[in-house]
Chain A
């Protein structure tokens, strides 16, 4: 199998095809970022579908299937369709999305009719225009690849050159206009670039799925970064990889249509990003929630221990309360936790060095005994103080009813940043209210 793959890759024509789909993926990924951020994702779909009649007409006029005239046909059809969407939204009450749907289906319908006509009138067998529906990268020859490569390189250079302007266009067009930058011209340029970018992909990916190669890599890249520069690089990489993977699978014996394979590869990358994305991925979110939950449980454990000392322990004034062991079963009841959950929390707190666990000597019914360490007591003091500050704030300043206070305090106090705690302290002191927990943590 590896040998077959090597044979495939040394084939000159195959290498051409791979270069073509690689460049195609890269330029689509880059353009897709701006199309998506400019909220023009759907326009890629419109452009791809409306290119079909353009391709068919170009073939009927020239009777060749060399890529350049067909590309010109696709670009012209794309421009006509964007003009149609513009005119419809400007001069009628139809909104943009409806206009896009209208133009897409009408043009695509006309394209299919023309394609059928071409097939009936003979030259059909050789025309191979059907590949424009779902794409067949294997049909690319050296000349096609050269055209695609030149166009893809020009698109990439333009994106790098106008990066600053396109960023402004996508983020805040009005502000750019206010500065006197010709945003309309930039918008048109970007649109033209998307038209070209979609058109060069038609032969390899097909009209039905081309917009997916535009949008999917960009959408996937967004999960990994909050910086536009990095998003562009990632989208280009995702697009390029999808192009290569789809093409190799297609060429490697299967002879399946390339378009769906490339799109499946891109979708695979998207799903991976959705789950593992370092910025917005689901896994990150879940881990974050788990961490918060652990922290809340840990802090609640410390507070319950502290409050137990307060009620049953010996007050030693400035030195705080005397520490004594508390049975785990008592804690479980007071915290409303199942024993197993409590054990997990205790284990974590133990790892922090906040408490020690002892077996009750002799009496197996008592179970494990928990005692705070000195550090644990200091930490517990802070946690308890923060909780009471927040409770008092809710009661006296935010006028919550007393029986509403505890629940709200439990939820939010764990998120309070230190400067907010200080502000709370200052305010409550001004009012002459202070929680009864010692204000500062001191070594015991």
Chain B
């Protein structure tokens, strides 16, 4: 069986709600292994939420996720994650190497200290993103692009097969963006599967060979050349779905607000 046919990530009927307000409705897809996949959609479409739901960081109201055919809970070590850069305090008292070493914790298990091999591996990961000279630097001294590279190095240190990245291109300079995309291409060449939350429609066709179009529900999924069409983009960014979000908003309101409105209308 060729690598292409293998399914790396399968998501079935995934629904997520925050405070009763649904943000993702019945999302279904299967990602073939060895692709660089863009997750595209407007603000508030639930892109980050989808990643977090797959990684079990937010509770799903329904649905399941399989990684290489087995439930996520059994396959956690196969998964790497790059959160949004703003999600952490960059003033935290650690240096760059400390952060990258955190990528090894999943392999180390509880109570075990990183060993020499882990330090060497972390340094190799820093080398790969061109940050080896910054290993002892306090993280508050890094620029935005450097912070992003450190997060990537940490993900590399996880030695995963499937990577989920939340906006790795947000707020980085052009040079960093190029080097990040080079790194992602390399991961793909090594047979890894990479799902990237992406904002810039201009570069989708250049960067990704597969796309997921999302706006509260899955609009389309497939190879970029047949999926990234005007028609699908209109569906993703167009107005038709506003009904869905209005319904979700109404549903999250207290019951008496609904009654009140009915009373007025009647």
Q: Please give the residue numbers on chain A whose beta carbons come within 8 Å of chain B beta carbons, in ascending order.
A: 37, 161-162, 164-165, 167-168, 170-172, 174-181, 222, 225-228, 231
In the complex, the answer to whether B93 meets A222 with C-beta atoms within 8 Å is: yes
B95 in contact (CB, < 8 A): yes
Interface string of B225-247 (1 = CB under 8 A from A): 00000000000000000000000
Of B74-82, B120-128, B178-186, the stretch lying at the interface with chain A is: B74-82
Q: Pick the contact of A178 from B55, B94, B99 — CB < 8 Å?
A: B55
Q: Which residues of B contact A181 (CB under 8 A)?
A: 105-106, 110
Q: Of residues 57 to 91 in B, which have CB atoms within 8 Å of A's CB atoms? A: 57, 73, 76-77, 79, 81, 83, 87-89
Q: Pick the contact of A172 from B83, B93, B95 — CB < 8 Å?
A: B83
Q: Which residues of A contact B259 (CB under 8 A)?
A: none
B253 in contact (CB, < 8 A): no
Most buried by B among A162, A180, A181, A228: A180
Separation of A343 and B118 alpha carbons in the complex (Å): 57
Shortest beta-carbon distance from B43 to chain A in Å: 20
In the complex, the answer to whether A168 meets B105 with C-beta atoms within 8 Å is: yes
Q: Which residues of A contact B111 (CB under 8 A)?
A: 161-162
Which 6 A-B pairs rank lowest in CB-CB distance, beginning with the nearest?
A180-B76, A178-B81, A179-B106, A226-B138, A178-B55, A177-B57
**Closest A residue, CB atoms, query B151:** A175
Separation of A117 and B244 alpha carbons in the complex (Å): 58
Separation of A181 and B79 alpha carbons in the complex (Å): 12
Please name 14 further chain A to chain B contacts, defined as beta carbons within 8 Å, in addition to the given A165-B105, A179-B76, A226-B93, sorted by A numbering: A167-B98, A168-B102, A170-B92, A171-B89, A171-B102, A172-B83, A172-B87, A174-B52, A176-B102, A178-B57, A179-B105, A180-B76, A180-B106, A181-B110
Shortest beta-carbon distance from B20 to chain A in Å: 11
In the complex, the answer to whether A179 meets B81 with C-beta atoms within 8 Å is: yes
Separation of A423 and B83 alpha carbons in the complex (Å): 33
Q: Which residues of B contact A227 (CB under 8 A)?
A: 93-95
B205 in contact (CB, < 8 A): no
Q: Pick the contact of B77 from A165, A180, A226, A231 — CB < 8 Å?
A: A180
Separation of A170 and B92 alpha carbons in the complex (Å): 9
Separation of A310 and B7 alpha carbons in the complex (Å): 73
Separation of A37 and B108 alpha carbons in the complex (Å): 23
Q: Which residues of A contact B113 (CB under 8 A)?
A: 164
B143 in contact (CB, < 8 A): no
Separation of A226 and B95 alpha carbons in the complex (Å): 8
Separation of A161 and B110 alpha carbons in the complex (Å): 9
Q: Which residues of B contact A174 (CB under 8 A)?
A: 52, 57, 81, 83, 87
Q: Which residues of A contact B110 (CB under 8 A)?
A: 162, 165, 181
What are 23 A-B contacts defined by CB distance under 8 Å?
A37-B93, A165-B110, A167-B94, A168-B102, A171-B88, A171-B99, A172-B83, A172-B102, A175-B83, A176-B102, A177-B56, A177-B57, A178-B79, A178-B81, A178-B164, A179-B76, A179-B105, A181-B105, A225-B93, A226-B140, A227-B93, A228-B92, A228-B94
In the complex, the answer to whether A164 meets B105 with C-beta atoms within 8 Å is: yes
Separation of A145 and B168 alpha carbons in the complex (Å): 53
B15 in contact (CB, < 8 A): no
B158 in contact (CB, < 8 A): yes
Shortest beta-carbon distance from B57 to chain A in Å: 5
Separation of A11 and B99 alpha carbons in the complex (Å): 49
**Closest A residue, CB atoms, query B113:** A164
Shortest beta-carbon distance from A103 to chain B in Å: 21
Separation of A440 and B208 alpha carbons in the complex (Å): 47
**Closest B residue, CB atoms, query A176:** B105
In the complex, the answer to whether B83 meets A231 with C-beta atoms within 8 Å is: no
Separation of A167 and B111 alpha carbons in the complex (Å): 12
**Closest B residue, CB atoms, query A232:** B93
Q: Pick the contact of B158 from A162, A170, A179 — CB < 8 Å?
A: A179
Interface string of B140-162 (1 = CB under 8 A from A): 10000000000000100010000
Shortest beta-carbon distance from A216 to chain B in Å: 17
Most buried by A among B93, B94, B106, B112: B93
Q: Which residues of A contact B98 (CB under 8 A)?
A: 167, 228
Separation of A165 and B89 alpha carbons in the complex (Å): 17
Known A-B contacts A172-B87, A227-B93, A231-B93; the reply to A177 vs B55 at CB < 8 A is: yes
Separation of A426 and B64 alpha carbons in the complex (Å): 56
Q: Which residues of B contact A179 (CB under 8 A)?
A: 76, 79, 81, 105-106, 158
Separation of A231 and B138 alpha carbons in the complex (Å): 14
Separation of A177 and B114 alpha carbons in the complex (Å): 19
Q: Which residues of B contact A180 (CB under 8 A)?
A: 73, 76-77, 79, 106
Q: Which residues of A contact B112 (CB under 8 A)?
A: 164
**Closest A residue, CB atoms, query B112:** A164
In the complex, the answer to whether B81 meets A175 with C-beta atoms within 8 Å is: yes
Separation of A177 and B73 alpha carbons in the complex (Å): 11
**Closest B residue, CB atoms, query A37:** B92
Q: Which residues of B contact A222 (CB under 8 A)?
A: 93
In the complex, the answer to whether A172 meets B88 with C-beta atoms within 8 Å is: yes
Known A-B contacts A178-B57, A178-B79, A180-B77; the reply to A171 vs B87 at CB < 8 A is: no
**Closest A residue, CB atoms, query B80:** A178
Separation of A162 and B112 alpha carbons in the complex (Å): 9
Q: Which residues of B contact A176 (CB under 8 A)?
A: 102, 105
Most buried by A among B73, B98, B154: B98
Separation of A44 and B76 alpha carbons in the complex (Å): 34
Q: Which residues of A contact B57 (CB under 8 A)?
A: 174, 177-178
Separation of A172 and B94 alpha carbons in the complex (Å): 12
Separation of A209 and B80 alpha carbons in the complex (Å): 44
**Closest B residue, CB atoms, query A39:** B89
Q: Which residues of A contact B95 (CB under 8 A)?
A: 226-227
**Closest A residue, CB atoms, query B106:** A179
Shortest beta-carbon distance from B52 to chain A in Å: 7
Shortest beta-carbon distance from A79 to chain B in Å: 23
Separation of A167 and B97 alpha carbons in the complex (Å): 14
Separation of A214 and B163 alpha carbons in the complex (Å): 39
Separation of A228 and B138 alpha carbons in the complex (Å): 11
Separation of A174 and B56 alpha carbons in the complex (Å): 10
**Closest B residue, CB atoms, query A186:** B110
